[in-house]
Amino acid sequence: MVSGMVDLSVKIGDITLANPVTPASGAFSWEYNDVIDLNRLGGLVAKTICREPRLGNPTPRMAETEAGIIQSIGLPGKGIEYFIDHIVPEYARFTPPLIVSCSSDNIEEFALLTEELAACPDVDVIEANISCPTRNLTGQNFAMHEDYTRDAVKAIKDKCAGKPLWVKLSPNAGDIVSIAKAAEDAGADCLVIANTFLSLKIRTDNFRPALGNKFGGLVSPALKPIVLRMVYQVAKQVKIPIIGIGGVTKAEDVVEYMLAGASAVGIGYAGFRNPTALVQIIDDLEAWCNERGIKKVTDLIGAVKDDDMEMDPLVTASHGV
């Protein structure tokens, strides 16, 4: 690895990340410090917290599928008070900015929760998870609808006390671009694209759903091309930065998301598969940039070459493989 040449830092609004690699909410906790050096990460992203204590969903909460896993956790947690008193301090020991994901299915409660978090000095960013597909049985959430998104984001933004608000969108929405624009209009400072795909597995041995909650969110490297398409479409239509989440397993995937228009990425699955993956991806990304003489990783953002595509099939078919 050639080192010390490329500048890996990216700015998401006023927040500077030392590099564009962050964990995805719910797939990370300070406990990973047992295995990796958390100070290497672009950011620390806490698991989505709800205002009241929640036990979460029935077990089993995970099942393997043909190519990936479905999971349904149901946002368990000990509530906002415990979180601020006991969990924020765990993260505060480390240097990267702390992004706290939070959620509610009630706008007023969401606003209250935001207010409480914003008042906590160690919280650098509020990430509104308006897209968890498994917090209730129907899979519905604000991010499925343009109007709900706008209303929720407005109410939350009001209570951020000037702290940046990132909004996590759903890949289950039909028109991601309209929803992204609604979130931007309502004051989101960054869009996190995307949460998990609402899914079902039925066991053929006992004819029962494989998960205790019936539905679960599908997580798989296979899904990257879908989410990448969403990031690409949204990036063409909004001005705020985007964090791409879905199927990143290697440095080239970070590059691909950035080319499509993301400023950074979030990683879940890959860190489960290889607990040291995030650190390795940062190292590999640095090496990748240095090998190509890329001086600032931000040069990659939106750099896809898509403006001179040949649309005559008779011409393109005669190009080499």
Partner 1 sequence: MALESCEKYTDTALRPGDADRYPDRLAGEFLGLVVSNDWVNKEYKHLVLKVHDRALKAYAGQFFHLLCPTPDGAEVWMRRPMSVYRVDKPKGQIEFLYKCEGRGTRGMGMLAAGDEFNIAGPLGKGFHLDPAWKNIVVLGRGVGLATLAPLSQLAAENKVGVTAILSARNPDVVMSKDLFDGLGAKTITVLDTDKSSEVANVEKVIEGLISDRKADAFFTCGSSRLLKLMQQLGKKHGIPGQVAMEQIMVCGVGACYVCMRTFEIDGVKTLKRVCRDGPVFDMQQAVGW
Ligand X SMILES: Cc1cc2nc3c(=O)[nH]c(=O)nc-3n(C[C@H](O)[C@H](O)[C@H](O)COP(=O)(O)O)c2cc1C
The contact set with partner 1 (CB under 8 A) reads: 26-29, 31-37, 47, 55-56, 59-69, 71, 73, 76, 203-205, 210, 220-221, 249-252, 270-277, 279-281, 283-284, 313-315, 317-321
Which of 37, 64, 81, 291 touches ligand FAD by CB under 6 A?
64
212 binds its own copies (CB under 8 A): yes
Min dist. Cβ of residue 218 to partner 1 (A): 11
By a kind-dependent CB cut-off of 5 to 8 A, residue 26 interacts, out of ligand FAD, its own copies, ligand X, none, with ligand X
Span 74-93, contacts to its own copies by CB under 8 A: 74
Token pair of 47, please? 């698991």
196 binds ligand X (CB under 6 A): yes
Confirm if 149 and 142 have CB atoms less than 8 A apart. yes
Question: Does an H or E element contain 80, and which?
Answer: helix 79-82
117 binds its own copies (CB under 8 A): no
- Which residue's Cβ has the minimum distance to ligand FAD? 321
129 binds ligand X (CB under 6 A): yes
Min dist. Cβ of residue 319 to ligand FAD (A): 12
The nearer residue to ligand FAD, 55 or 321, going by C-beta atoms, is: 321
144 binds its own copies (CB under 8 A): yes
26 binds ligand X (CB under 6 A): yes
Beta pairing, strands 62-65 & 68-71: antiparallel
Min dist. Cβ of residue 111 to its own copies (A): 25
The nearer residue to its own copies, 123 or 180, going by C-beta atoms, is: 180
User: Of 291, 272, 285, whose CA–CA distance to 32 is shortest?
Assistant: 272
Q: What is the DSSP string of 91-130?
A: HHTSSSPEEEEE--SSHHHHHHHHHHHHT-TT--EEEEE-
The set of long-range contacts for 269-277, using a CB threshold of 8 Å and a minimum separation of 24, is: 269/27, 269/68, 269/69, 269/219, 269/220, 269/221, 270/221, 271/23, 271/27, 271/28, 271/32, 272/27, 273/249, 275/32, 275/35, 275/36, 276/35, 276/36, 277/249
Confirm if 167 and 242 have CB atoms less than 8 A apart. no
321 binds ligand FAD (CB under 6 A): yes
Active site residues: 132
Q: DSSP 3-state assignment of 289?
A: helix
CA 21 to chain centre: 11
How many chain residues touch ligand X (CB under 6 A)? Answer: 24
52 binds ligand FAD (CB under 6 A): no
User: What contacts 116, CB < 8 A, 6 or more positions away?
Assistant: 51, 80, 84
Binding site for its own copies (CB under 8 A): 55-60, 65-68, 70, 74, 139, 144, 172-175, 197-202, 204, 206-209, 212, 214-216, 218, 220-226, 228-229, 232, 247, 249, 252, 255-256, 259-260, 303-306, 309-317, 319, 321
